């Protein structure tokens, strides 16, 4: 096994190596920063993110040692403990069951693969690897006894059902006494159901708002005709954190609406819910197809839209320069007669400006040229030939604010449809509905035990006790606890048992339930194998916003080149650390990614997706001939060139990070077809950027409180631990986001991140963890057995680092009585460090209180700056409520109270991997150059309604002189000075960076 840079740092930390020796170790391990890969295919042959043994928080690997002796049953449940919406629309479980749990999901090969990861992940340079941590024998038992099928049962409320929060939504328990540990091992994966459920719930709430204003402004006929189902269109594919998240989140939205451009959602609905026609779209332009004509030919670009699509709905972005000129003079004068005589509807799209003012101004400008009629309530309605869609800045709050303002100004709601992107699919998190998974029942030594978490520091986190039923009586939902419910009245239905799917609901049924209809669960003959399908994340033709399928018809005649770039236009952090491109290239773009089978699959989707009940399907919308051309002339490889700044580079925002252009004149349309997929690089880049900023804060306070030696020894790399797997929106997002965090730190429990770092960046030891408890392993001992549970932690792990959650009941009693008195001698004499974890309470007070309680029992010493530090045998980790702001607030408070920063490590979950979005760094992808009829054209977007959205012009170089980064525009840069390197050309990966090199770059400037 090659000793990597990560392993070397771990060694240096634990042996307290001095700074100079650490530098030498790192230098020898990192090697060259960039490796040339001439001819190397670079593609990954297998899906490493579908091994159930590793789809968990890594600390759960150690939990089989932590339950009470004689445990044979663990029963846990999932609920929304509260949140933004009182009614929860449950959705997404069937996807996770079919994708990850149905059939023979445990195999000897997967066990072996997992063990190889765990041996590195839990290795320690002083204490080595404890063979008992990984429960290999139990996994082999599942293979031999159950044929690799999971011996658990899942009961759930039928998907689409609307239930008030604070009710159980599903339960999970083992069916084999020997596999009691398996229930909560699966928590990490299944808690991700928070995401499609939250998207579905919020989408449903927006539907209620839209319906309300349609009724109040005289447009009830729209509802009766089903038009309201197209009033909130999904624009979220590029703004969500991964393709998988786009699929399940986009499907969650389609439970309530029928308009979407997120093709991954369409595939998800078909493959996992049996619905081939879940959503629809229309031809629509984007800024690249409009601005490539030039400012002076904008009217020609608009005329082309009407000519290419002579009937049906067509949408056109109209604010590339001047939205009001477009409405009054271009649409409203030069093209007015075409619009009015056209057999269809033109949908005008403003894409910038202050809300709701700009939208109201657009409606007034259009009315001044096209007129209006009155609804029965006296509200103005534009003629049927023209409507407006507002897709910029739309979330549930702005949507309602706009409709309220329209009503007040006398406008009917039917004049407008909405498009929502990041706010629909990304700006949600596990705390939006306070989703949680808790153990409530166990069988120990043959006796049933009602299990309960009840922290004195947060009564809102008190969990339910005992076996549960969800009952509906007198039009009221209630969860009956402590086994007191009536099984005959239980609305939870067994959907999965022992590897078999028992219920297979179709999408139409789920939609009906979401509307309030009662539909029985669709029982089937048990599904023993996962559905045979094409990987929804592995068809490049479908990894796009569907409106881009129509764009080949929208560029100027004679176009042969489209050149676009990606940048952070601003944002929360002035310095951006670029990361993630190599994953997307290897996963989706390297090699022969276009095949006849994928082409046929895509066309089948598009034929349905763009069909119209009146006008049918226009075959020219899908550019089949051009995809066949790529197969015939390029062997299915993408004729594209990408130049990018080396990953890990930290540079100021507002600079170009990568460019993309076609290499075959016939494939000019391909550049921006790939935008949707590659803009998702916003996510790992933003995670990496924010993580790096947190690293800077931690380093500052370590220095300020007299512990610079922690940094010199590399210990700061373990001060922010990734707890985010369950709180992110998908397994794929956990992989790329978790890997991005590991650019800056070495501590993680997100196993998917380790797989990503190894498979896509060649790093076998990207992150490490330690044995640690969770509430289920502590509370299953009972309140009166908490001391025994804590003693068991010290006995099971007699040396090394071990972490123990200590607030299941009373954190202060735990610190003073249990750890500080009853177990003090054991802790003091133990060969290692106990890490105490509070998991509730007000910040920063709870941290200071815990430190004070521990100091009262264990004492402290002073650092060189006079700050207090606990003895080496004990430390604290704060993992609840940690984001970049609370982290700094806690460290400030500790410093002010005389505590050294080294007393504390942090764990961060949703805030690290989920509570960020494309607008965090204002990431954008824009066309800046084209070649039309043999002439180079500098392309620019310059909306008068938002100067901040003005794009860069011409061909770009990224240059750095004297440490100052500059993006040189309009082709004026020097190619010899360009810091961007060609990383991809014509389906081949040209540069393959190692993780160590990326880490080294990210450290520049720290």
pLDDT score for 538: 84
CA dist 136 and 612 (Å) reads 55
pLDDT score for 255: 98
pLDDT score for 307: 98
C-alpha dihedral sign at 712, 715, 719, 722 = positive
Burial class of residue 143 in the structure, from the number of CB atoms within 10 Å of its CB (0-12 exposed, 13-18 middle, 19+ buried): middle
| DSSP summary character for residue 332 | I
C-alpha dihedral sign at 624, 630, 636, 639 = negative
CA dist 772 and 802 (Å) reads 6
Q: What DSSP string runs through 656-725?
A: EEEEEEESSGGGTTHHHHTHHHHHTTHHHHHHHHHHHHHHHHHHHHHHHTT-HHHHHTTGGGGSEEE--T
Strand order in the sheet with 981-985: 935-938, 923-932, 559-568, 656-662, 640-644, 981-985, 988-989
In sequence order, what E strands does 872-990 have?
874-878, 904-908, 923-932, 935-938, 957-961, 964-968, 981-985, 988-989
CA dist 9 and 4 (Å) reads 9
CB 618 within 8 A of CB 610: yes
pLDDT score for 47: 62
C-alpha dihedral sign at 224, 225, 226, 232 = negative
CA dist 750 and 748 (Å) reads 5
Q: Which residues make Cβ contacts (< 8 Å) with residue 477, sequence separation at least 6?
A: 163, 164, 167, 470, 471, 491
How does pLDDT run across 527-586, given as a tens digit for each residue?
Answer: 676 664 546 568 999 999 999 999 999 999 999 999 999 999 999 999 999 999 999 999
Token representation of residue 656: 């170009």
pLDDT score for 522: 80
CA dist 826 and 547 (Å) reads 65
Q: Is 651 helix (H, G, I), strand (E, B) or coil?
A: strand
Q: Which residues make Cβ contacts (< 8 Å) with residue 856, sequence separation at least 6?
A: 816, 820
Strand-pairing partners, residue 490, are 471
| DSSP summary character for residue 951 | P
Cα angle, residue 394 at apex, residues 324 and 361 outer, rounded to 5°: 25
CB 723 within 8 A of CB 673: no
Q: Which residues make Cβ contacts (< 8 Å) with residue 94, sequence separation at least 6?
A: 159, 272, 273, 495, 501, 503, 504, 505
- The predicted model scores a pTM of 0.95
CB atoms within 10 A of CB 957: 21
Q: Is 57 helix (H, G, I), strand (E, B) or coil?
A: strand
CA dist 98 and 106 (Å) reads 14
CA dist 726 and 36 (Å) reads 36
3-state secondary structure 419-477: EECHHHHCCCCHHHCCEEEEEEEEEECCEEEECCCCCCCCHHHCCCCCCCEEEEECCEE
Strand-pairing partners, residue 76, are 172, 439
Burial class of residue 624 in the structure, from the number of CB atoms within 10 Å of its CB (0-12 exposed, 13-18 middle, 19+ buried): middle
H and E: helices and strands count for the chain: 36, 39
CA dist 8 and 845 (Å) reads 36
Rg from Cα positions in the chain = 29
Q: Is 527 helix (H, G, I), strand (E, B) or coil?
A: strand
pLDDT score for 519: 85
pLDDT score for 523: 81
pLDDT score for 40: 36
CA dist 705 and 699 (Å) reads 10
The dihedral over CA atoms of 802, 806, 812, 813, expressed in degrees to the nearest 10, equals: -100
| DSSP summary character for residue 168 | E
pLDDT under 50 in the chain at which residues? 1-46, 532, 534
The dihedral over CA atoms of 299, 300, 305, 309, expressed in degrees to the nearest 10, equals: 130
pLDDT score for 649: 98
Q: Is 916 helix (H, G, I), strand (E, B) or coil?
A: coil
| DSSP summary character for residue 176 | S
Residue with tokens 């978790």, as numbered in its chain:
738
Distances (CA, A) of 506 to 95, 150, 515, 736: 12, 24, 15, 31
């Amino acid at each position: 096994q090659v000793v990597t840079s990560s392993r070397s740092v771990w060694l240096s930390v634990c042996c307290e190596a001095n700074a100079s020796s650490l530098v030498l170790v790192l230098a020898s391990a990192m090697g060259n920063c960039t490796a040339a890969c001439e001819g190397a295919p670079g593609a990954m042959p297998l899906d490493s993110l579908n091994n159930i043994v590793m789809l968990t928080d890594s600390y759960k690997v150690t939990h089989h040692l932590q339950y009470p002796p004689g445990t044979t049953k663990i029963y846990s449940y999932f609920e929304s403990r509260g949140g933004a919406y009182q009614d929860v629309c449950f959705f997404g479980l069937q996807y996770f069951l079919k994708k990850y749990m149905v059939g023979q999901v445990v195999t000897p090969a997967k066990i072996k693969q997992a063990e190889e990861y765990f041996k590195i992940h839990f290795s320690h340079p002083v204490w080595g690897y404890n063979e008992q941590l990984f429960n290999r024998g139990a996994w082999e038992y599942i293979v031999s006894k159950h044929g690799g099928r999971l011996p658990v049962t899942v009961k759930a409320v039928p998907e689409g059902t609307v239930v008030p929060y604070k009710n159980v939504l599903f339960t999970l328990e083992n069916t084999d006494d020997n596999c009691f540990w398996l229930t909560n091992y699966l928590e990490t994966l299944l808690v991700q159901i928070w995401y499609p459920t939250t998207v579905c719930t919020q989408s449903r709430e927006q539907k209620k708002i839209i319906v309300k204003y349609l009724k109040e402004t005289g447009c009830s006929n729209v509802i009766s005709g089903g038009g309201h189902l197209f009033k909130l269109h999904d624009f979220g594919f590029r703004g969500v954190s991964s393709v998988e998240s786009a699929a399940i989140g986009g499907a969650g939205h389609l439970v309530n609406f029928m308009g979407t451009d997120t093709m991954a959602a369409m595939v998800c609905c078909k493959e996992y819910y049996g619905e081939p026609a879940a959503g629809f779209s229309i031809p629509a332009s984007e800024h690249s197809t409009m601005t490539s004509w030039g400012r002076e030919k904008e009217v020609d670009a608009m005329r082309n839209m009407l000519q290419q699509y002579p009937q049906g709905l067509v949408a056109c972005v109209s604010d590339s320069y001047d939205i009001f000129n477009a409405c009054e003079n271009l649409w409203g004068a030069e093209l007015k007669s075409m619009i009015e005589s056209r057999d269809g509807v033109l949908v005008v799209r403003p894409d910038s400006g202050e809300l709701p003012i700009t939208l109201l101004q657009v409606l007034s400008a259009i009315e001044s040229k096209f007129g209006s009629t009155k609804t029965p309530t006296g509200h103005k309605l534009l003629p049927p030939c023209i409507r407006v869609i507002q897709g910029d800045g739309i979330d549930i709050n702005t949507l309602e604010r706009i409709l309220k303002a329209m009503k007040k100004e006398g406008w009917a709601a039917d004049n407008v449809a909405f498009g929502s992107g990041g706010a629909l699919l990304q700006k949600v998190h596990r705390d939006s509905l306070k989703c949680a998974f808790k153990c409530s029942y166990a069988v120990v030594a043959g006796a049933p035990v009602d299990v309960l978490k009840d922290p004195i520091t947060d009564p809102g986190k008190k969990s339910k006790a005992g076996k549960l039923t969800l009952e509906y009586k007198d039009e009221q939902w209630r969860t009956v606890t402590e086994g007191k419910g009536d099984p005959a009245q239980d609305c939870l239905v067994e959907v999965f048992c022992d590897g078999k799917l028992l219920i297979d609901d179709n999408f139409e049924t789920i939609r009906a339930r979401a509307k309030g209809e009662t539909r029985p669960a669709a029982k089937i003959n048990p599904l023993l194998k996962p559905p045979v399908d094409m990987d929804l994340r592995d068809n490049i033709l479908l990894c796009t916003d569907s409106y881009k399928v129509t764009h080949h018809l929208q560029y100027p005649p004679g176009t042969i080149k489209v050149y676009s770039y990606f940048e952070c236009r601003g944002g929360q952090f002035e310095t951006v650390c670029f990361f993630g491109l190599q994953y997307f290239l290897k996963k989706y773009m390297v090699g022969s990614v276009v095949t006849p089978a994928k082409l046929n699959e895509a066309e089948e989707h598009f034929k349905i997706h763009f069909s119209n009940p009146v006008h049918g399907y226009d075959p020219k919308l899908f550019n089949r001939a051009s995809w066949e051309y790529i197969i015939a002339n390029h062997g299915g490889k993408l004729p594209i060139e990408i130049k990018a700044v080396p990953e890990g580079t930290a540079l100021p925002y507002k600079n170009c990070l990568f460019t993309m252009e076609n290499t075959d004149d016939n494939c000019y349309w391909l550049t921006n077809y790939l935008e949707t997929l590659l803009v998702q690089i916003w996510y790992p880049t933003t995670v990496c950027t924010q993580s790096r900023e947190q690293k800077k804060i931690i380093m500052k306070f370590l220095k300020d409180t007299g512990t610079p030696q922690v940094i010199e020894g590399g210990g700061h790399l373990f001060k922010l631990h990734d707890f985010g797997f369950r709180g992110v929106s998908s397994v794929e997002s956990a992989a790329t986001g978790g890997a991005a965090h590991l650019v800056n730190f070495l501590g993680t429990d997100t196993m998917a991140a380790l797989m990503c770092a190894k498979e896509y960046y060649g790093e076998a030891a990207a992150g490490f963890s330690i044995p640690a408890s969770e509430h289920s392993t502590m509370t299953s001992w009972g309140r009166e057995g908490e001391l025994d549970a804590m003693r068991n932690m010290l006995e099971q792990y007699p040396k090394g680092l071990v972490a123990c959650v200590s607030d299941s009941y009373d954190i202060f009693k735990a610190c003073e009585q249990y750890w500080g008195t009853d177990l003090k001698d054991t802790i003091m004499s133990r060969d290692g460090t106990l890490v105490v974890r509070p998991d509730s309470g007000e910040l920063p007070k709870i941290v200071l209180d815990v430190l004070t309680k521990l100091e009262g029992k264990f004492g402290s010493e002073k650092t060189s700056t006079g700050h207090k530090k606990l003895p080496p045998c004990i430390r604290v980790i704060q993992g609840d409520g940690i984001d970049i702001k609370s982290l700094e607030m806690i460290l400030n408070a500790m410093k002010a109270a005389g505590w050294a920063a080294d007393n504390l490590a942090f764990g961060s979950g949703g805030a690290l991997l989920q509570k960020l979005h494309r607008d965090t760094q204002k990431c954008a992808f824009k066309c800046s150059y084209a070649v039309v009829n043999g002439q180079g054209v500098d392309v620019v977007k310059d909306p008068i309604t938002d100067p901040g959205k003005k794009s860069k012009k011409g061909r770009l170089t990224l240059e750095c002189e004297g440490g100052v980064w500059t993006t040189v525009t309009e082709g004026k840069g020097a190619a010899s000075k360009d810091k961007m390197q060609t990383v991809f050309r014509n389906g081949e990966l040209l540069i393959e960076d190692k993780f160590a090199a990326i880490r080294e770059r990210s450290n520049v400037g720290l």
